[in-house]
Amino acid sequence: MDPIVEAALRKWPNVPHCYGWLALDARGDWYMRDDRVRAAGPFPQVKGSRIVHDKLQAFIGRNYAADERGCWFFQNGPQRVYVELESAPWVWRVQTVAGRATVHTHTGLPAQVQGAWLDHQGRLYLACDLGFGLVHTLDMDPAADAVTRGEWSPAELDAAEMPQRFGYWRRPQPAQPA
């Protein structure tokens, strides 16, 4: 987390959380979803405004994390902005380097693969040391090469079962009082 964000949290520790205003699609793109967009329909059918500013994308990526419930958020200064996920919390970028697959998050962090799954639509998901995510569609060639080389052995799993199995929420909601 950025030092400026940590300082803001100390200065204003009780800022209410925000829900529904930020989303991550299956290609690793961030979307702003204001009231008008949310009224027009659910994500990802109605995406909103794609964030294209590289410094804002990097800021979101550096301050992206999960809470104890498995709800992913962007810590925007003192405010926690929960993220709606089209498919999974991470979108993996795959390259072949020196004959082996390397994996990075959509935010640029290196990751180590621990397991692989295919859903019924043929999408490839990886469980890594950083969490669970979907392989980017543009990276299916090097990912398929990794499977062919025996680096990964995907099992089949229904996409609807993935959030519960891997401990994340696609559409975070405020916690219910005890």
* pLDDT tens digits, one per residue of 127-160: 999 999 999 999 999 999 999 999 999 999 999 9
With contact defined as beta carbons under 8 Å apart, do 17 and 79 qualify?
yes
Task: Report yes or no on whether pTM surpasses 0.85.
Answer: yes
* pLDDT higher than 80, residue 176: no
- The Cα–Cα gap between 32 and 74 comes to 12
| Domains of the chain, start order | 3-85 (3.10.540), 90-166 (no CATH)
With contact defined as beta carbons under 8 Å apart, do 26 and 16 qualify?
no
* pLDDT higher than 70, residue 109: yes
For residues 104-126, one letter each, b for 16 or more C-beta atoms within 10 angstroms of the residue's C-beta and e for the rest, the string is bbbbeeebebeebbebeeebbbb
Task: Please tell me the predicted confidence (pLDDT) of residue 178.
Answer: 65
